[in-house]
Structure 1
Amino acid sequence: MQKALQILQKYWGYDSFRPTQDDVIQSVLEGNDTFGLLPTGGGKSLCFQVPAMVQEGLCLVVSPLVALMKDQVTQLQKRDIKAIALTGGIHSEELIQLLDNCQFGNYKFLYLSPERLEQDWVLERIKTLKISLIAIDEAHCISQWGHDFRPSYLKIAKLKEAFPKIPFVALTASATPEVQQDILTSLGLENPQVFTKSFARANLGYHVLKSEDKLFKIKQILSKNPEPSIIYVRNRKSCVEYASQLNDLGFKATYYHGGLPPKEKEANMQAWMNESRPIMIATSAFGMGIDKPNVKTVIHVQLPENLESYYQEAGRAGRNGEKAFALLLSSSNDVLQAEGQFLSVLPEVAFLKEMYKKLCSYFQVPYGEGLNDEFPFSLNKFCAHYNFPILKTFNALQFLDRQSIISLTNEQSEKVQLQFVIETREVIRYISLNPDDEEIITTILRSYPGIFEVVTNVNTVFVAKSTKVTEEKVIQVLEKLRDRGIVDMFIMQNESKLTFLEVREDERTINRVAKYLEKQNLTKKSQLASVITYVADEVQCKSRLLLTYFGEKVEKDCGACSHCLNKNKNKENSEANHLHVELLNVLKKAPMTSREIAAIFGADEHQLLAVLKKMLEYQMVTLNDKNQFTII
Structure 2
Amino acid sequence: MNPIDILVKYWGHTNFRLKQEKIINDILVGKDVLALLPTGGGKSICYQVPTLLKEGICLVISPLISLMDDQVRHLKSKGIKSIAITSDMHYNEIDTALTNCIYGGIKFLYLSPEKLRNKLVQNRIQEMKINMITVDEAHCISEWGHNFRPAYRYISEIRSSIPNTPVLALTATATTEVIHDIQNNLLFKKNNLIRSSFRRDNISYIVDNKENKKLTLINLLNKIKSSVIVYTSTRKATKEIANFLIKNDFSATCYHGGLSREIRTERQKKWGKNQVRIIVATNAFGMGIHKADVKLVVHMDLPSTIEAYFQEAGRTGRNGETAYAFLLANKTDIKKQENLLKLRYPNIKDIIDCYQNIANYLQIAIGDLPEDPIPFDIIDFSNRYKTGVLKTYNILKYLEKEEKLKLSNNINSPSTVMINVSNTELYKFQISNRYYDAFIKLLLRSYSNLFNHHTVINEKQIAKDLKESSIQEVKEVLQRLHRLEIIRYQEQNNLPKIKYLRKRENLSALELSKKKLEERKSYESSKLKKISRYIIRKDSCRSKILLHYFSEETSYKCGVCDVCIGEKRKTTKDQEYDHVSSSIKQITTKDKSSIEGIPTQASNIKKDEVINILNFLSDNDKIDKFDNK
- Amino acid of the residue matched to residue 569 of structure 1? R
Residue equivalent to 2:620: none
Residue equivalent to 2:433: none
Q: Quote how far apart the aligned CAs of 1:196 are.
A: 0.7
Q: Quote how far apart the aligned CAs of 1:60 are.
A: 0.7
Q: Quote how far apart the aligned CAs of 1:562 are.
A: 0.8
SS of residue matched to 1:554: coil
Q: Quote how far apart the aligned CAs of 1:337 are.
A: 2.4
CA distance in 2, matches of 1:102, 1:180: 31
Residue equivalent to 2:289: 290
Q: 1:414 to 1:156 in 2, by over 3 A?
A: closer
Residue equivalent to 2:242: 243
CA distance in 2, matches of 1:514, 1:93: 42
Greater Cα shift, 169-178 or 14-23: 14-23
Q: 1:157 to 1:40 in 2, by over 3 A?
A: same
Q: Equivalences for 1:75-86 in 2 at 5 Å?
A: 75-86=74-85
CA distance in 1, matches of 2:522, 2:357: 26
Q: Quote how far apart the aligned CAs of 1:267 are.
A: 4.4
Greater Cα shift, 100-109 or 387-396: 387-396
RMSD: 2.9
Residue equivalent to 1:378: 376
Q: 1:522 to 1:345 in 2, by over 3 A?
A: same
Residue equivalent to 2:549: 549
CA distance in 1, matches of 2:396, 2:611: 70
- 1:363 equivalent to 2:362? Answer yes
Residue equivalent to 2:616: none
- Amino acid of the residue matched to residue 613 of structure 1? N
- 1:615 equivalent to 2:613? Answer no
Q: Quote how far apart the aligned CAs of 1:363 are.
A: 3.1
Residue equivalent to 1:482: none
Q: Equivalences for 1:5-404 in 2 at 5 Å?
A: 5-367=4-366, 369-372=367-370, 374=372, 376-380=374-378, 381-404=380-403
Q: 1:378 to 1:497 in 2, by over 3 A?
A: closer
Is the 1:32–1:192 Cα contact (8 Å) retained in structure 2? no
Is the 2:377–2:495 Cα contact (8 Å) retained in structure 1? no
- Amino acid of the residue matched to residue 197 of structure 2? S
**Identical columns (%):** 36
Q: Quote how far apart the aligned CAs of 1:110 are.
A: 1.2
Q: Quote how far apart the aligned CAs of 1:586 are.
A: 2.6
Greater Cα shift, 559-568 or 370-379: 370-379
Is the 2:95–2:120 Cα contact (8 Å) retained in structure 1? no
CA offsets 1:478-536 (integer angstroms, 9 cap, x no match): xxxxxxxxxxxxx9625444343433334455425665544433332222222111111
Q: Equivalences for 1:395-434 in 2 at 5 Å?
A: 395-409=394-408, 411-412=410-411
Q: 1:122 to 1:400 in 2, by over 3 A?
A: farther
SS of residue matched to 1:17: coil
SS of residue matched to 1:614: coil
Give the number of equivalent residue pairs: 529
CA distance in 2, matches of 1:374, 1:142: 26
CA offsets 1:378-408 (integer angstroms, 9 cap, x no match): 2323323212222332333234334432354
Q: 1:363 to 1:245 in 2, by over 3 A?
A: closer
Is the 1:314–1:326 Cα contact (8 Å) retained in structure 2? yes
CA offsets 1:281-306 (integer angstroms, 9 cap, x no match): 22222213221212221111110121
CA distance in 2, matches of 1:365, 1:271: 42
TM-score normalised by length of structure 2: 0.78
CA offsets 1:101-139 (integer angstroms, 9 cap, x no match): 211111111122222333445323211111111111111
SS of residue matched to 1:344: helix
CA offsets 1:22-51 (integer angstroms, 9 cap, x no match): 211111112111110011111112211121
Q: Quote how far apart the aligned CAs of 1:173 are.
A: 0.9
Is the 1:147–1:523 Cα contact (8 Å) retained in structure 2? no
CA distance in 2, matches of 1:391, 1:73: 37
Greater Cα shift, 268-277 or 167-176: 268-277
Is the 2:58–2:134 Cα contact (8 Å) retained in structure 1? yes
CA distance in 2, matches of 1:497, 1:226: 40
Q: Quote how far apart the aligned CAs of 1:79 are.
A: 2.5
CA distance in 2, matches of 1:383, 1:191: 49
Question: Where in structure 1 are there 5+ consecutive unaligned residues?
Answer: 416-490, 592-607, 622-630
CA distance in 1, matches of 2:603, 2:320: 37
- 1:525 equivalent to 2:525? Answer yes
Residue equivalent to 2:535: 535
CA distance in 2, matches of 1:156, 1:541: 39
CA offsets 1:6-34 (integer angstroms, 9 cap, x no match): 22233233332211122111111121111
Q: 1:361 to 1:270 in 2, by over 3 A?
A: closer
CA distance in 1, matches of 2:20, 2:217: 36
Q: 1:339 to 1:413 in 2, by over 3 A?
A: farther
SS of residue matched to 2:511: helix
Is the 1:374–1:497 Cα contact (8 Å) retained in structure 2? no
CA distance in 1, matches of 2:85, 2:515: 30
SS of residue matched to 2:2: helix
- 1:564 equivalent to 2:564? Answer yes
Q: Quote how far apart the aligned CAs of 1:560 are.
A: 1.5
CA distance in 2, matches of 1:25, 1:401: 35
SS of residue matched to 2:100: helix
Q: 1:405 to 1:250 in 2, by over 3 A?
A: closer
Q: 1:390 to 1:133 in 2, by over 3 A?
A: same
- Amino acid of the residue matched to residue 364 of structure 1? Q
- Amino acid of the residue matched to residue 41 of structure 1? G
Is the 1:28–1:167 Cα contact (8 Å) retained in structure 2? yes
Is the 2:60–2:110 Cα contact (8 Å) retained in structure 1? yes
Question: Where in structure 2 are there 5+ consecutive unaligned residues?
Answer: 415-490, 592-598, 613-625
CA distance in 2, matches of 1:243, 1:228: 14
CA distance in 1, matches of 2:60, 2:503: 30
Is the 2:226–2:277 Cα contact (8 Å) retained in structure 1? yes
Is the 1:372–1:502 Cα contact (8 Å) retained in structure 2? no
CA offsets 1:566-613 (integer angstroms, 9 cap, x no match): 12211221221122111112334669xxxxxxxxxxxxxxxx99x842
Residue equivalent to 1:471: none
Residue equivalent to 1:453: none
TM-score normalised by length of structure 1: 0.77
Q: 1:230 to 1:75 in 2, by over 3 A?
A: same
Q: Quote how far apart the aligned CAs of 1:54 are.
A: 1.4
Is the 2:258–2:410 Cα contact (8 Å) retained in structure 1? no
CA distance in 2, matches of 1:248, 1:125: 54
SS of residue matched to 1:9: helix
Q: 1:155 to 1:267 in 2, by over 3 A?
A: closer
CA distance in 2, matches of 1:618, 1:358: 70
CA offsets 1:54-83 (integer angstroms, 9 cap, x no match): 111010112222332222222222322222
Q: Quote how far apart the aligned CAs of 1:263 are.
A: 4.9
Is the 1:349–1:518 Cα contact (8 Å) retained in structure 2? no
CA distance in 2, matches of 1:7, 1:100: 27
Q: 1:514 to 1:137 in 2, by over 3 A?
A: farther
Is the 1:41–1:291 Cα contact (8 Å) retained in structure 2? yes
Is the 2:260–2:410 Cα contact (8 Å) retained in structure 1? no
Q: 1:279 to 1:95 in 2, by over 3 A?
A: closer
CA distance in 1, matches of 2:273, 2:289: 13
Is the 1:356–1:506 Cα contact (8 Å) retained in structure 2? no
Residue equivalent to 1:597: none
